[in-house]
Structure 1
Amino acid sequence: MSLALNPCFTPPTADIYVFDPDLAVENRRSFVPRYGDENWSLLALTQNPSQADDLIQWRWFSEVFREPFRYASWTMINYPLPDVDVARQGAAMRSKLSVGRLMKTVNQWSLFARWLEGHGITKLSEVTAEDLTEYGFHLKKVRGLARNTATSHLIGLSRLHYYGQGYLPEVDRLLEPPWVTEGMDDYLPAATPLGANITEPIVPATMGPLLVWAMRFVEEYADDILAAAAEHRRLIAVAEALNGPIKAGAGQRLVTYLEQLEAEGKPVPASVWGKEAASPGVFLAGLTGTPAAKVHQVMNQPRWKAYRAKNPGRCLLETPVTARLGGEPWHDPFDFYGCTTLLKHLGTACFVILGYLTGMRTGEILALENGSCPDPEGPPEAARRHLIYARQFKVSRDEDGNHDSAGVVREAPWVAVPQVVRTVRVLERLGGHGLLFAAELHDPRQLDRRSGRSLAIATMSNRIESFIEWVNAHAESRGRQAEVIPADPHGRVGTGRFRRTLAWHIARRPGGLVALAVQYGHMRTLISEGYGSRSRGGIHDLLDFETARNVAEHLSEVHEAIQEGEGISGPAARRLIHAAAQEHSRFGGIIASVRQARSLLADPTLNVFENKEAFLFCNYDRAKALCHPGRGGKSEAPSLDRCKVNCANIARTDDHARQLREAAESLGQQAASGAVPEPLADRLQERAQSLTGLADQHDNDRVLAGTGAGR
């Protein structure tokens, strides 16, 4: 039955489709709900492969408001907002919403309906401007919502008002909210200091080991896991091919196999559930070529039932374990029933690497397809760079300016470092022909709902936590407690924090090395070149923000130290003192927006970067820098891994001098311990003397603010 057009203030009958099935994604038309259903799935309206399976549940609404809001929701799904309302001043509106936003809006309406009932209001037409003002206060003060969340609630009510004017009966119309004409600021919480950038980066203590283990899985363990998975699939295929009528003598191979185990005193493969050992029908069927039904008949015979009870064993695959961890096999012999878990963890490790080393959003990663990272063309001796062609969803719009759920291919492809390329190749080896994270490959239990789609974002988030738990248990069992992944103090790792963490590390370690020599400074260059002269945005905004925050924090600390009487030394001492004073005056150590970040970074006098390894600040001036052989051309970040002691951009603080002496003392103790070879001890002692000399030079040359410093 097709959709009835033109509502005319009359709700559809219960058997009418909620939206026209012809508009549905072809392989999801069976998901199109009927108007009278208790739950509505909008999955068939979106082409985003990672869209969650959320449902509009009408039990959210009491009987008083259920039908009015059901009709309002049906209207919102099927009819665009009138142009006159889209063009209104105030919060930006789209004529139609994405599936995710539709779900959120209906959920917000349900919260509003509950609040109305709690205040004795049973009809939308009874709501007054004072009621709406009080509800805005409720969101702000009682529920304590963040500004962006409260804004979303108010926009949802504005949309309810707009639809009511053109589509809903008079009794179900909401009057114009006061914030439509007055603006929303008075109805919202104050803006947070960090604006939208409130996602905490994953702390290095957690991210480092997590990345190391993810790379181990992809670069060292993948061959073993994929081989075990192939054997697992082969045994299942053999077992399934044997289904059908049982022929005479079908159990003889199994009996021969069991007799050999008995003669050698070996355990029988079994599935152990609690204290009970059951027969692994599929495994033994594939292993011996015996139909699964016959396997259970044979294994239930008294002789074999008793032997299995006394000698239960694992269902081991013949696939060898070739990779090593600390000189030992990284895993025990693979078990038939543990294979899917390892495959799941391999897929999770792939996601961690892609999420952390590319800068892609979660939805972009889950939408990657086979062939999205082709080998570059050209002769092998030429400098070639792999690119990833990904779809983006956040900014994809159709010709009417509404969200396009299919996404659009990025104008500028992502540049892939070697670790990322190897990760993509592992995912391609799983055998799929569509999405790299296709549900049928990574979660075949949900084939009925997620066919042709990727894993859901929530599923991947849960799998990352499961991966961390598995790794920690594995490390403990092998006596490698130092390699466990510590819990992040800010909570779950999730999927959306990798992108922010990448920007955090790039900004704070330009040119440095993080986990297995992945060069973030190098990656920053690649990302920048990938964007070229195209529109900035995406990861660049995060890079700018984190770099500026890092600079502001360091300069603020220097300013405080100077005020407390600490000294500065080095050729660039005067520039550092001036930069600290300027930053304090303009920003006060706090960068609250991308605009402020760009303003700070655009000021060459504030281009100050700390090199913790060299115990110094680089007051970067490209014309004076020794870290770049050719110092002409436009400005760029310094290469802090190539700092020169005679560079004119160097400045040190008293704190750096203290750190130099502590490092020198530590090296001297190592040299004198007798635990290192004499040539190494000599080098350590020489290094210690060099560091002490730098500290002495600082003490001799240090100046205080206002006394004249540096050149």
Structure 2
Amino acid sequence: MTSAGAAENDTYVLAMPAPTSLVVLPQWITPGNTHPNSRYQEAMWSMALLIDNPGTRLGKLHWKNCPEPLRDQVKLAAWTMINGQLRPTYLQVRGVQARSRSGAPDMAATCLEWMRLARWLHERQITSLGACTETEWRAYASERLPRVSRDTAAIICVRLTNLWAFDQLSARPSGITRPPWESGGVDDFLPAGGAAGGGENATEPLDPLVLGPLLIWAIRFVDDFADDIMAAWAERRRLVAVVAATKAEPTGWAALEQWLLPMARDGHALPAYMDKREVQVATGLDPEFWTRVMRLVPA
């Protein structure tokens, strides 16, 4: 048990955030990253300020997906992970690949895994992470892990362990129990390995005569189109900013209706976008408007 005075002097324990606190503290934001910062009290957190690679999807955390009784506890652990670092003593026993901080995509995936656990606990009328004991950990692992591959299950175990680790570094720990695979070993919790186990890549390697030209053309593609790619990315960001700053007005809705409704009546293709490798109708508009449009789409 850590005393209150010791916790105050512990540089790894973060101060309690206020409702208006920034989701990403300034020390983790790269100069030049101008994405808007979310506030702790908001129902959606943007991870964009932690992402500098233009090819990486700008993730978001939607807290509506976390049950209300457990939301504040999971939210605090998530904020601590975003702005804190794991202790060196914690990392020393976890191999050379262990890191005090992970990247934004992994943080987002970790938070989604925590929300999944919270929903499972909520379904069993458990309203506090502190009530997640070894019994609950084992029951959840027995349901969650057999549904995925062995490698994915190992990653899930790490993410769930991080909930316990970052909870200890928060200003108001929930007291969630240490997962049982931390003391007894994770192997017993993982599904059996496949026939090609051992981590070896069984794919036939490409012949150098094939790989060489591919590499040359990949380099040429980047060299020849780099300016166009960056210009397109800048233009996309400009258009997104314009849309975000433009307020919808009746004249605009009328013009959109005049353009879109004839397309729906005549069975023409509607505005769409790619999501999870599927083409979906662009439903970012007013739901009532889209209800009117979709009634006109031929079955």
Give the TM bin, normalised by the shorter chain. 0.5 to 0.7
Deviation by residue 1:304-341 (Cα, 9 ceiling, x = unmatched)? xxxxxxxxxxxxxxxxxxxxxxxxxxxxxxxxxxxxxx
Count of matched residue pairs: 234
For residues 112 and 68 of structure 2, the distance between their equivalents in structure 1, rounded to whole angstroms, comes to 16
C-alpha deviation, 1:16, in angstroms: 1.5
SS in 2 for 1:56: strand
C-alpha deviation, 1:29, in angstroms: 2.8
Name the counterpart of 2:98. Answer: 93
- Cα 1:64–1:91 change in 2 (3 A) is farther
SS in 1 for 2:73: helix
Name the counterpart of 2:139. Answer: 134
C-alpha deviation, 1:160, in angstroms: 1.3
For residues 194 and 31 of structure 1, the distance between their equivalents in structure 2, rounded to whole angstroms, comes to 46
Name the counterpart of 1:39. Answer: 44
C-alpha deviation, 1:64, in angstroms: 0.8
Kindly indicate whether structure 1 or structure 2 has the higher relative contact order, using CA contacts under 8 Å at least 6 residues apart. Answer: 2
SS in 1 for 2:61: strand
C-alpha deviation, 1:8, in angstroms: 6.6
Aligned match for 1:81, one of 71, 79, 86: 86
Aligned match for 2:107, one of 102, 110, 115: 102
For residues 461 and 178 of structure 1, the distance between their equivalents in structure 2, rounded to whole angstroms, comes to 34
Name the counterpart of 2:128. Answer: 123
For residues 131 and 198 of structure 1, the distance between their equivalents in structure 2, rounded to whole angstroms, comes to 36
Does the 8 Å contact 2:24/2:49 carry over to 1?
Answer: no
Name the counterpart of 2:165. Answer: 162
- Cα 1:437–1:136 change in 2 (3 A) is same
Please tell me whether residue 146 in structure 1 is matched to residue 138 in structure 2: no
C-alpha deviation, 1:19, in angstroms: 2.0
Aligned match for 2:196, one of 190, 194, 197: 194
Name the counterpart of 2:268. Answer: none
For residues 198 and 48 of structure 1, the distance between their equivalents in structure 2, rounded to whole angstroms, comes to 28
Does the 8 Å contact 1:91/1:155 carry over to 2?
Answer: no
For residues 92 and 427 of structure 1, the distance between their equivalents in structure 2, rounded to whole angstroms, comes to 30
Structure 2 residue identity aligned to 1:114 = R
Does the 8 Å contact 2:130/2:175 carry over to 1?
Answer: yes
Correspondence list, 1:32-71, <5 A: 32-71=37-76
C-alpha deviation, 1:40, in angstroms: 1.5
C-alpha deviation, 1:96, in angstroms: 0.9
- Tell me how large the CA RMSD over aligned residues is: 3.7
Which blocks of at least 5 consecutive residues in structure 2 are unaligned? 1-9, 205-209, 242-272, 280-299
For residues 277 and 233 of structure 2, the distance between their equivalents in structure 1, rounded to whole angstroms, comes to 13
Structure 2 residue identity aligned to 1:191 = G
Name the counterpart of 2:183. Answer: 181
Deviation by residue 1:336-356 (Cα, 9 ceiling, x = unmatched)? xxxxxxxxxxxxxxxxxxxxx
Structure 1 residue identity aligned to 2:76 = Y
For residues 62 and 12 of structure 2, the distance between their equivalents in structure 1, rounded to whole angstroms, comes to 22
For residues 98 and 423 of structure 1, the distance between their equivalents in structure 2, rounded to whole angstroms, comes to 26
C-alpha deviation, 1:157, in angstroms: 1.7
Name the counterpart of 1:441. Answer: 232
SS in 2 for 1:121: coil
Deviation by residue 1:515-551 (Cα, 9 ceiling, x = unmatched)? xxxxxxxxxxxxxxxxxxxxxxxxxxxxxxxxxxxxx
Deviation by residue 1:649-676 (Cα, 9 ceiling, x = unmatched)? xxxxxxxxxxxxxxxxxxxxxxxxxxxx
Name the counterpart of 1:493. Answer: none
For residues 124 and 136 of structure 1, the distance between their equivalents in structure 2, rounded to whole angstroms, comes to 16
SS in 1 for 2:33: helix
C-alpha deviation, 1:189, in angstroms: 0.4
Does the 8 Å contact 2:70/2:127 carry over to 1?
Answer: yes
For residues 7 and 16 of structure 1, the distance between their equivalents in structure 2, rounded to whole angstroms, comes to 18
Correspondence list, 1:294-305, <5 A: none
For residues 431 and 53 of structure 1, the distance between their equivalents in structure 2, rounded to whole angstroms, comes to 21
Aligned match for 1:112, one of 69, 93, 117: 117
SS in 1 for 2:157: helix
- Cα 1:117–1:10 change in 2 (3 A) is farther
Name the counterpart of 1:15. Answer: 20
SS in 2 for 1:40: strand
SS in 2 for 1:104: helix
For residues 426 and 72 of structure 1, the distance between their equivalents in structure 2, rounded to whole angstroms, comes to 42
Name the counterpart of 2:244. Answer: none
Which blocks of at least 5 consecutive residues in structure 1 are unaligned? 202-356, 359-415, 451-457, 466-711
C-alpha deviation, 1:164, in angstroms: 2.1
Correspondence list, 1:263-274, <5 A: none
For residues 37 and 437 of structure 1, the distance between their equivalents in structure 2, rounded to whole angstroms, comes to 33
Deviation by residue 1:440-462 (Cα, 9 ceiling, x = unmatched)? 33794454569xxxxxxx97995
SS in 2 for 1:30: coil
Normalising by structure 2, we get a TM-score of: 0.66
C-alpha deviation, 1:198, in angstroms: 8.2
- Cα 1:190–1:430 change in 2 (3 A) is closer
Does the 8 Å contact 1:45/1:99 carry over to 2?
Answer: yes
Does the 8 Å contact 1:39/1:55 carry over to 2?
Answer: yes
For residues 41 and 90 of structure 2, the distance between their equivalents in structure 1, rounded to whole angstroms, comes to 29
Does the 8 Å contact 2:51/2:58 carry over to 1?
Answer: no
SS in 2 for 1:125: helix
For residues 431 and 146 of structure 1, the distance between their equivalents in structure 2, rounded to whole angstroms, comes to 38
C-alpha deviation, 1:129, in angstroms: 0.6
Does the 8 Å contact 1:86/1:92 carry over to 2?
Answer: no
